[in-house]
Amino acid sequence: MTVIERFLKLVSFDTTSSEESGQHPSTPNQKVLGAELVRQMQELGIQDARMDAFGYVYGTIPANCEKSLPVYGLIAHMDTSPDAPGGPIHARITEVYEGGDIILNEEQGIVLSPREYESLLNHTGKRLIVTDGTTLLGADDKAGVAEILSAAELLLASNLPHGTVKIAFTPDEEIGEGADHFDVAGFGAEYAYTVDGGAIGELEYENFNAASALVEIAGLSIHPGSACGKMVNASLVAMEFASLLPALETPYFTDGYEGFFHLTDMEGSVEHAKLSYIIRDHDREKFEARKAVLEKAAKEMNRRYGSGTVKLTIRDSYYNMKEKIEPCMFLVDQAKSAMLELGIAPKVQPIRGGTDGARLSFEGLPCPNLCAGGENFHGRFEYVPVEDMEKITKLLATILWNIAK
């Protein structure tokens, strides 16, 4: 099975994760895919292929040389983002892309165009895997899953020496719970790479510090005809709270190392209102300062409208793995070296997001993040170039072969 055939099979499983579930994994189809991955791993000859009660899939490729080498891991996640419909996915491979628009769905008038998505022009001369524009594709991160399995196939079929390689596929990464039940000790790797990045060449060891914030507002409803000086409209208080945050520090206006406040959900009536935010910043001090901005806004609203009007709950999600990777920069260097060997231009850049590897790095398993090849993640215009998936598969194997040299 080629990496492309494997990928197209994997995306037929709808593994959308759910923040509301309260279960582990959050959706049952993740275990259905997990069982399929165990089956494929066993067919390839990967040893000890198994899925645990939480839906984590593990396996081992034994070393084929006597040289004493550290144990490395490769990790990707099985779930897809709840930000867009996750199925049924109707994937297809385009003809060689020569620029211009790609009609995804003629009936519904859905078009993938470089006018909106300039990255398309980086992939002229390649075949692209796209959807019909009604769902996401699932390259985040089933491209990574397919590439790891196909790299395992290369390792097992070759006589080139390599050390012991551990493989893991995680559920619920997209809702921030991918590392919650990861068995680091049982995994048994000293170092690992997550394969969860974007375009080919991306290599990342810095990510956002991340937190979520829930703002709950209690209003006071009185007949509007006699509400003068008495009514507290929770929805208006919510709008006022939002106005206290920096207007230009949202995802639309920020890039690179710049952090942001992102309002992800809001609901409200006169008596009750709720705002949900995520807070992101690469710099730890600035991250803490952002949380302080929210606390100051909540305090001000309670001063204006009375104690208890606004309740603020902030929960940290993960931290920038940079401090855990910098003592192990050989992990980044050996990935760069393998890229250059294969004619891939390394793009070392910060992640404007997070990965399972960020949390695992703080649990003693340093995990830089490698490209999986896809673009436009979490949306209906997601795509991945065929040729890039093939090259990334070889990249993973090359990194592991080079370690044994």
Instruction: Identify whether residues 46 and 88 lie together within a single domain.
Output: yes
Distances (CA, A) of 287 to 148, 184, 257, 280, 317: 34, 27, 12, 7, 12
What number is the average pLDDT over the span 384-399?
A: 98
CATH of the domain at 304: 3.30.70.360
Are 175 and 54 members of one domain? yes
d(CA 349, CA 283): 15
- Rounded average pLDDT over 300-308: 96
Residues 205-241 as b/e (b if ≥16 CB within 10 A, e otherwise) read: bbbbbbbbbebbbbbeeeeeeeeeeebbbbbbbbebb
Which residues are known catalytic residues? 79, 173
Q: Domain of residue 326: give its range.
A: 3-207+320-403
How many CB atoms lie under 10 A from the CB of residue 176?
19
At 38, the pLDDT band (50, 70, 90 cuts) reads: very high
Q: Do residue 314 and residue 324 come from a single domain?
A: no
| Joined tokens for residue 202 | 């991306």
State mean pLDDT over 135-149.
98
Query: Is a pLDDT exceeding 90 seen at residue 317?
Result: no
Amino acid 383: pLDDT: 98
For 72, 171, 306, the CA distances from 175, given in Å and listed in that order, are: 26, 9, 34
Q: Which pair of structure tokens corresponds to residue 278?
A: 């995520």
Do 202 and 214 belong to one domain? no
Report the alpha-carbon distance of residue 191 to residue 235 in Å, rounded: 49
- H helices then E strands: how many in the chain? 10, 17
**Number of separate domains in the chain:** 2
Q: Strand pairing of 369-371 and 191-197?
A: parallel
Contact 182, 168 (CB under 8 A): yes
Q: Distance between CA atoms of 245 and 297, rounded to whole angstroms?
A: 8
- Say if residue 353's pLDDT is above 90: no
Considering only CA atoms, which of 242, 277, 245 is closest in space to residue 263? Answer: 277
Residue by residue, DSSP assigns 109-158 as: TEEE-TTT-GGGGGGTTS-EEE--SSS---HHHHHHHHHHHHHHHHHHH-
pLDDT tens digit sequence for 208-259: 999 999 999 999 999 999 989 999 999 999 999 999 999 999 999 999 999 9
Mean pLDDT, residues 375-402 taken together: 98
Across-strand partners of 166?
60, 73
* Residue 202 confidence class, pLDDT cut points 50, 70, 90: very high
One domain, residues 150 and 136: yes
> Same structural domain for residues 178 and 241?
no
Same domain membership, residue 167 and residue 235: no
19 has pLDDT over 90: no
* The predicted structure's pLDDT at residue 13: 98
Sheet with strand 347-348: strands edge to edge? 47-51, 57-61, 165-170, 72-77, 191-197, 369-371, 202-204, 347-348
Tokens of 356: 């399972």
The residue out of 285, 318, 351 marking a domain boundary is 318
% of the chain with per-residue pLDDT over 70 = 100
On whether both 57 and 177 belong to a single domain, the answer is yes
Residue after which a domain boundary falls, among 261, 290, 318: 318
pLDDT band at 282 (very low <50, low <70, confident <90, very high): very high
* Beta pairing class for 202-204 and 369-371: antiparallel
Q: Please give the pLDDT value at position 204.
A: 96
Tell me the residue type at 372: A
Task: Band the pLDDT of 355: cuts 50, 70, 90.
Answer: confident
DSSP 313-365: EEEEEE--THHHHGGGTHHHHHHHHHHHHTT---EE---SS--HHHHHHHTT-
What pLDDT, on a 0 to 100 scale, did the predictor assign at position 338? 98
**What is the average pLDDT score of the chain?**
97
Dump pLDDT digits (tens) for 163-200: 999 999 999 999 989 999 999 999 999 999 999 999 99
Residues 292 and 327 in one domain: no
330 and 221 assigned to the same domain:
no
Q: Both 149 and 268 in a single domain?
A: no
SS3 content of the chain, % helix, strand, coil (to 5): 35, 25, 40
322: confidence class by pLDDT, cuts 50, 70, 90: very high
Q: Indicate whether 358 and 374 sit together in one domain.
A: yes
Last residue in a domain, options 254, 283, 318: 318
pLDDT in tens, 54-112: 999 999 999 999 999 999 999 999 999 999 999 999 999 999 999 999 999 999 999 99
pLDDT computed for residue 174 by the predictor: 94
Question: CA-to-CA distance for 126 and 260, rounded, in angstroms?
Answer: 35
